[in-house]
Structure 1
Amino acid sequence: MPCSECGGHTVWDDTAASEICTACGTLTDPTQVVLTSNDYSHGHSDFWQPTPPATLKNPRNSWALAGQGQEARDRKNAYTMGNFIISLAVSMNASGLSPRAITLFNQAKAIGYFRWGRRAKVVAGACLSIALRESYRPDSIADISTLLQCSPNLLSRTFISVTSALQIATNSVDPSVFMVTLQGFVTSILQGHQVAQSCGLPATLLKILQPLSLHTVTQTATSLCNVLARICPIDGQSRPSAASTACAVFLLSLEAEARTPLASLGDFAKTLGARLNLGKGVVMAQYKSIQDQVSSLIEKVPWLARYESHRGRAKVAKRTVVARGLKDVIKFNEEIFHNILLPDVELELTPPEASDDDNLNDDGTEATFSTSSRPHKRRKIHHSLDEATRFLLNPLHTHAASRPHRSAPASGSTFSLASYVLSTSALYNISRNPPNRLQLLAAERGGSDEAAIPDEELFTEGELESLLRNDKEAAILQRALGWDRESEEEDTVPKEEVVKSKRRRNAQGRQGQHHETEHLVKKSRLNMDALARFMGQGSESTSDNADEDNGEIDFDDEGALGLLGLGGDFDEEDLEEEGGAWLGDELYQHEDLTSTSMPNAISTHSPSLSQQGDDEEIVLDSWRPPSPSGGGGISFHNRYEEDPG
C-alpha cells in the first residue's frame, strides 16, 4: 500500500512489525509493539553488529585477533560514518532523512565506489543531498560543502558520480537555478523601451528599478533561498513549485535592494510569472507566504524593528519592515550557520587508504609526488639580462612576454656586458625602432671597445654638432635660469668687504689663540656694539672725561661699561687710595673679558684681590651690587658699606 504521507512505496520490516515507506521512512502502523527476550544483545544496532567470537591466533604468523579483522574494521567505520551522517542531517534540519542517506552511503560502499578516508565524508554529503532531492527539497550543496569544509565543485562532482553509480534519477527543485533567467529578463526590460511597453509596466516602477544593481539582487535572492531551504516544513501540505518560489524571492530581493516596497507589484509579478509560465495568483500567494516567514525571522534579530499591529493597524507596513530587514536577516542566519561544528571522524585506515587520503587534494584530484629526492629544475622564463637590455634601449616600451632564451654553447672567450647589449641578435626582434649606428658597427665588427670602434666613427659628420646647443640657445637658457646675474654678482664683489672679512678672520684667530692660553670663559651672545649704540645718548654726559684719561677706550665701549656698572669716573690714584690692586693695562686689554665675564670684571675692581706669585689666583669675596649713581658709570666711594659683624 502507498504511504499516507508522501504516497511512496512501502516495504515490510520485521524489526518494526510494520510497513515502512522507502521515501520518507514513515511507519504505516506505528502502534505495533515487538516483544524481545533477555537474551537480546544490548549492543544491537543497525550500524553495529557484535563481533562473532573467534579463537586468539599467534600474531607472528599474521593471524588476526578477535575484533582486528577487515570485517570488524569496516563495521566500526560504518558505525562512525552513520553517526556523522546523523549529525550532518541534524545541522541541515533534515534529521528524518538520515536513514535514507545512510542507506545510500552503504550502497555506494558495497559497490566499491570509494575507500575509507576523506573521500568518505564527501560521499556522505552527496548522499544527504540526494536524500534532500528525493524529498522535494533543495539539495543545499553550498551549505553542505560549508559544513564539510570542502569546495562546492568537489561535492557537485561527487553528487553526479554517486547518482550515476547507483542509477538514481532526481529532478532539481532549487529555486536559485531560475535567478539568472529572471535577472536577464529584467535587464532586457530596463534596457529596451519596446519590451517595457509590451509588458505594460508603469513608468514609476521602471524609475525605481533603473538604479538598482541586478547582480546584487541575484546574490541576495540566492542567499535567501539557502536560508529558506534550512527551514523544514512541519505540515504535510503540498509544497510550491521552485519557479513560483524563485519569482517571489526575486521580488523580495528587489524590494530589499531598494529598501522600499515596489509600486504596481501585481503587474510586475504577472510579468515575471509569464516568463516562467506561471500565473499572477501563484506568484503573489508564494510572495505573501515567504514574506510571513521573513517577518518571523526578523523577530529573532535583536536590532531590527518588528512588525506590530494594534487592532488590525500598524504604524509601519509589513512590506516595509521586510524590505528594510531582509539583508540583516540573511547575514544573521549565515553567521549562525557558519559557526556550526561537526564531530570529528576517526576512521581506522589501512596503509594504502592512508596514503590515498594524504594524496587527495581539496579539489578531489590526487596529488602526484616525485620519487626522486632532488626536485626538478624549473625552466627559467624571465631573464634579467634581456629585460635590462630592453629597458636600456627603450624605457617606455613594455614588452608583453619575453621570448624563451636559448643557451649557446660555452666558448673560451668571454664578452663584457656592453658587448652583449650592443651585439646581441635578439635586439632586432625586441625593439620597435631600427638599430642605430653604434649597434650596427658593434654587430658588424664583433665588439664595442675602442679598438673595434674608434671615437671618430661613433657619429657621422655633423651629428654631434646637431646635438649641442648653439650660442643663441645658450644665451636664452642663461637668461631664463638666471646664470648671467649670478656670475655678475660674483664678479662685482667689493674689495673692501674682502679685506674686512680677511681682517676679521685674522683677529678671530688671534683671539682664539689667546683664549686657549689664558683659559678664559666662553664668548657671550650679547652684542655690545648694538647695546652701546642704544644706550649711547644716556651715557654721553658722564663719559666725556673717559676719552681724555684713557685713549684706548672709545665712546661706545665706555657707554657699555657704564651701563653694566664697569665704567665710571675713577683713575689709578683712586684705586691706590682705596687699597686696591691696579692691574695696569690688563684691565681693558681684552674686550672679551670686559664684555663677557661681568662678575669677574666687577670683582677685579674690588679691593679684595690678591696675587700669589706666578700662578695668579683671584680670590672673590662676597659681591655687592653697585650703588645706583646718577651717571653712566659708578664710583667706588659710593659703594655700599659692609655692615660690621
Structure 2
Amino acid sequence: MSSCPQCSSDSLTSLDGASVCTNCGSVLDLDQSFIDIEAPSQNVQVQQEPSILKSLRGTSNWSLPGQSKEASQRRNTYLINELIKSLAHALHVPGLTLRATTLCGQAMATGQFRWGTRAKMVAGACLSIALRESQRPDSLPDIAVLVDQSLPNLKRVLASVLSALGISLIPSEPHQHLSTLQSHLLSILENPSCHAELPYSLVGQLKALSIRSAAETARALSNLLGRAYLSEGTTLRLSPAPAACAVLILSIEAEARATLSNVSELAACFAGRCHIGKGIVMRCYKSIQDELAKWIEELNWLDTYERSSRGRAKVAKRLLVARALKDLINWKDDIWKKRLKTSDCFSVGTEIDALGEPGTVEGTIPFSTSQSESISSALSEGDSRPRKRRRINHVIGDAARFLADPLMGPIPSRDHFTPVNDPASSSYSLQDPQPSSDITYHLFPLTQYLLAAPVQVRSITQLPTRLQLLTVARGGSGPDSVRDDELFVDGEWEAMQRSPSEVEEVLTKWRVDGILDSIEKAAQSQVNKPGIEKSSKYRKRKPNKCEGDGEERRKMLSKRINLDAFKAFMNDEEPESAEFLGVDDSVLGAEEYSEDEEDSEAEGIDGASDVDASRTLHCDTENGDVIDEWRPLSP
C-alpha cells in the first residue's frame, strides 16, 4: 500500500492490474494501459488467409498467391527484358538494351501483342529498331536465329511494331554494314580454324594488308557514292548489304594497289555473313567498278581504260580502279568541300572579322590620305596577331540592317571625316565638319559604301577593302583619284617581300633540290633557241644546206651507196632519164636546184595525188611527141 500523489490517500495495489487510487481514480504506473473488453469493437477487420482448395475459396479471393494478372505481367516483363539483354550481348551492342526495353514496353502497352512467342518476336523487332536508330544494320537474320523464329514472321512483326508505335525508319546505308564485315574478316584471319573459308593464297594477301585502313577507304567510298546519287543524279542505286560487300572488296584491292587472286571467294564469304547471294555481290562489284572507271576519265593524271582494236585493253579495268581509287576519293572530297563553301544555303557566320575586334578602329576606315597609314597599321596589326579562332565583326552587318530598318537595329558606328572635292590633292585629313556648300558631311561611311558601291562588288558578308572604300569615297579608282602610295603605308610593301637572308635560304634550298639548275637551263635554251624556219605543209625531206666541198656533200647525202661508181654508171644518161629514175642532180654533178624548183620537187616526192594522177611519159620520135600514160617498170 502506498499513498496517492494526487489526493494523499491510500491506494490499492494489484498484481494483475495497475496501481489505482481508490479515492480519486488516478493511475500510479503510467506505463501500463487498460483494454475494455466489454466495449464494442470499431473498425476491426479479421484477416483471413486465402484457401488453397477451390471449393473453399470465396468469390472475392479467387486467385492463388502470386498468380494474379498484375504479378503475371510483372514476371513476363522481367523475362522479356532479360531476353532483350541477352540478345544485345549476343550482338555485341549492350548499350542498346535500355532503348530496346523501352520500345518493347511501349509496344506491349498498346495491347496489340500477347505474351509468349509473339512477345519474343516483339523483343527482337524492338532491338532491330534500336540498331537501325544507332546507324547499324538491323541484323534481322541473326535475331531470327537467336529467338528461334522464321525471318518472314519476324519481318511481319517488325512492320506491326513500327505501325503501332508510329515510327518511320530511314533507309539503311552501305557504311552501316562495314563494321560487321570488318569484324567478320578479322575473325577469319586471326582464327586458323576458320581459314578453310578462304583460299590459302587469298589469306596470305589479306594478312599483308591493313584491314582497318581498307575499312576507312570503304567508308569514304560509300559516302562518295551516296553523295553522287543525291547531287549528281547517277543511276547507281544498290542494296545496302551487297553494296557494302562490293565496296569493301574494292577498298581492299585499293589498299593492295593490285587485284585479288580469288575475289569471288571473298565475295562469297561476305555474302554468307550478310545472308545474301554471291552473285548479287559480284554484280554490285562490277557496277561500282564501271562507275569508278567513268570518274577516272575525268582525271588527266590517271591512266584511263582503253580497248585496243582487238577488243582487249592493255591494262585491266580492275587494276586501273585499284590503283586510282584513293586519288579519286580525295579529288571528289575536295570538290565536295569547295561546293559546300561556295553554297548559298549553308554558311557558318555571316560576317568574318578582317580588322580585329569590333571597335578597334571604331567600325570605320577613314578615306583620307593622312589616315591611310592608320588603316594599314590596323590591318597589319590584325593580320600579325596570332588568333586561335575567327572573330566576328558585326560592323557591316549592323550597317546593312540599319539601312533595311533604321528603327529596329542598332545605330552603326560613326566617324567624322571630310572628303575634299579635288581628288588629285592630298589634303584629306580628319577635321571637325564645318557647314559648307562644297563639303559633304557623312555620318555613316559604311552605309554610304553599301548604297554607292556597284552590285557586282558589294557584299554584306565581307568587309570592303581599302581600295573599295577609297573608290566609293572619292568617286573613282583611277590614278587621279587613288594614288599607288595610298594603297600601302611606309614599310608595308617591304614587309611583304623576302629579306636577303630569306632569299639566300630559298636559293640554297633550290640549288640542293635542283630547281635552280632547271631554271637556268630553261632560260639558256630560250636564249639559244634558233628562229623558226618556214616549212611547207607537205615537206618531209629537209633540203641540203651543207656548205663544203663535194666529199662532205656526198657524205651528207648517203652512206650506203658508192656515189663515185653510181656517177660513172649514170654519166651517159640524159638529164630527163636521170630525173625519171629519181636521181638527184647533185649526185650527177649538176648545179643545185633553186628554191622554187626544190619546193616543187618536194611536193611531187611527197605524193600529191593530183600530180601523180596526171604524170605522163614524153618520148621524142620522128613524127613528133607521143604522150602516153605512165606505167611502172617491170621487175
TM-score for the superposition, normalised by structure 1? 0.27
Which of 1 and 2 has greater Rg?
1
